[in-house]
């Protein structure tokens, strides 16, 4: 195996590690049951908008997949270097990872707990999600389509990722809300917490990736 191929393999492994960590956070967020994340509020709204046309009645998953593919197509035209093998891994592995963690964590009955439990669990989920996302981004092996929106805008504009992520998440919520997408306190916490925490974690995740690649070359 060539050194270049080994490096790509290690980066993909680190991406997968970050993906697992991030989706543990997503699972905690979902189990807290205090509102959908901003991107899924957008998906809810778009689904309702399509249903109102009377032409088709798509599932949430179908709309989610179509929006992700649309983002990828736009990026292939405007900045194809952002779409990598890891982007595909993120698209197809996220769901099964969430299903696994849901199976493991459901016995805790988090969704049946009161707010004194749900809110700390939700905040913990957002922090874990942000840390995992920072590993995925710093692996430079690709990023999930919904996260790529903020990554690309941040790099193209030179603005801090944390601020850009907040703006994109708020826009997702607003666009999804008007056609009927529903959000809760968890949506708001997620929109204003994940971006800044991910930005804070970026240097640590970059050091993790750099250190792993350095050990590989020794």
- Provide the phi-psi class of 159: left if phi over 0, else alpha when psi is between -120 and 50, else beta: beta
Confidence of residue 15 (pLDDT cuts 50, 70, 90): very high
- Provide the phi-psi class of 34: left if phi over 0, else alpha when psi is between -120 and 50, else beta: alpha
Confidence of residue 40 (pLDDT cuts 50, 70, 90): confident
Tell me: pLDDT of 137 over 70.
Answer: yes
d(CA 195, CA 33): 21
Q: pLDDT (tens digit, 9 = 90+) per residue, 189-199?
A: 999 999 999 99
pTM of the model: 0.88
């Amino acid at each position: 195996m060539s050194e270049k191929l080994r490096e790509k393999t290690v980066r993909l492994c680190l991406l997968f590690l970050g993906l697992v960590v991030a989706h543990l956070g997503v699972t905690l967020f979902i189990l807290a049951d205090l509102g959908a994340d901003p991107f899924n509020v957008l998906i809810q709204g778009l689904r309702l908008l399509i249903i109102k046309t009377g032409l088709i009645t798509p599932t949430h998953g179908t709309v989610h997949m179509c929006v992700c593919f649309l983002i990828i197509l736009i990026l292939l035209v405007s900045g194809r270097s952002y779409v990598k093998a890891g982007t595909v891994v993120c698209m197809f592995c996220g769901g099964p990872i969430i299903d696994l963690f849901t199976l493991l964590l459901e016995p805790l009955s988090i969704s049946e707990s009161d707010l004194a439990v749900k809110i700390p669990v939700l905040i913990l989920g957002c922090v874990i999600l942000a840390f995992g996302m920072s590993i995925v981004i710093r692996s430079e092996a690709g990023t999930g389509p919904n996260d790529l929106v903020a990554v690309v805008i941040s790099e193209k504009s030179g603005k801090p990722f944390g601020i850009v992520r907040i703006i994109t998440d708020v826009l997702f919520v607003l666009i999804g809300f008007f056609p009927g997408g529903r959000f809760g306190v968890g949506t708001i916490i997620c929109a204003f917490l994940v971006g800044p925490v991910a930005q804070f974690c970026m240097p640590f995740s970059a050091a993790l990736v750099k250190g792993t690649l350095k050990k590989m070359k020794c």
